[in-house]
Structure 1
Amino acid sequence: MIKKIFFQSIFLSFLFFMEAFAAESGGMPQLNPEFWISQIFWLTITFGILYVVLSKLILPKISSNLETRKSQIVDNIEAAEKQREQSELNIVEYEKIIQDSKNEAKNYFKQSREKVLKDINLKKNALDKELSLEIQKAESEIQELRDKAPEKINKIAVETSTNLLQRLIGAEVNNSSISAIVDDLSRKKMDKYYGN
């Protein structure tokens, strides 16, 4: 490309040289033919140096910088693509971990709930058994008191009646006859209560 520009500039210089012959009468020193050879010489030297500087120093650096940037951009794109793929894998793995954690939490909750319900049922059954035993014990005590109550009542009634009669009469009273009367009365009362 620089060679092409260099040759075009030489070609244009020659065209300018041809036109300069026609404009020589105008009085411009650049167009005076006696200075043309030196102008063409310095033009060739200047463009030659410019060509050498551009082709050997500047353009290789620009080209290497462009290649470096291009390779760096390609590397960055590849790294970004790898990171995107890794991020997608991490997201999938993260979602799997979350789902596994949710399932595990549900299982723990279910197991804990079942354990608590089982413990409650066991304690309820134990409490029911204990209450049943206590109720049976209380019922047996009540029945025992109920069975013994008439006898104790009769005994108290006989003693009280004997004491009252002794105080009223002032003499000893036969306990067996009072006991028979109290037994007879208590049987009638018991028949009345239990008969209904």
Structure 2
Amino acid sequence: MIKKIYFQSIFFSFLSLEAFAAESGGMPQLNPEFWISQIFWLTLTFGILYLVLSKFILPKIGGNLESRKSQILENIEAAEKQRESSEAKLKEYEEIVTKSKLEAKNIFNQAREKASKEINSKKEVLDKQIDEEIVKAEQEIKTLQSGAADKINKIAIDTSSELIQKLIGAEVNNSSISAIVDDLSKRSGDKYYGN
């Protein structure tokens, strides 16, 4: 405790010596007779600065930040809706492919049952008919797959174009988007098209 008092007294005496030396050496800001005017101008300057910042500048910045935030949230909602729409279209496509495969399998099974019930002499004719039915069913499946892929690509191009146009606010080149979508559909073709 005594050491603390000792160091404080040394510090304050040093400070008063420095103030006296500064006053005599030509530093008027350390002269106590100017302190009241300095405090007045300091308070006035920072008061005006505070008022200008709080009444004019900060509200504008806050308003800009709020409008930016709301625009970003709207863009995120729009992107989420577009993503959900694309996923729904993809599920529809997968259901169409699954139904087509089941129909083809049913047609094949029905044709096989007919063939087993027929007379041995007509077996060759029936086998030929079964093969034709299988080929037709496979062609229908391929037609559905190729048509569905084009429709999905078109939907993806349109959706991406609208979404990018909404996000950046500028017209977008559809050929670039088309090339990207085609590339992505080729990469994931095995997954969705069963190739």
- TM-score, structure 1 length as denominator? 0.39
**Higher RCO, 1 vs 2 (CA within 8 Å, ≥6 residues apart):** 2
Larger radius of gyration: 1
- TM-score, structure 2 length as denominator? 0.40
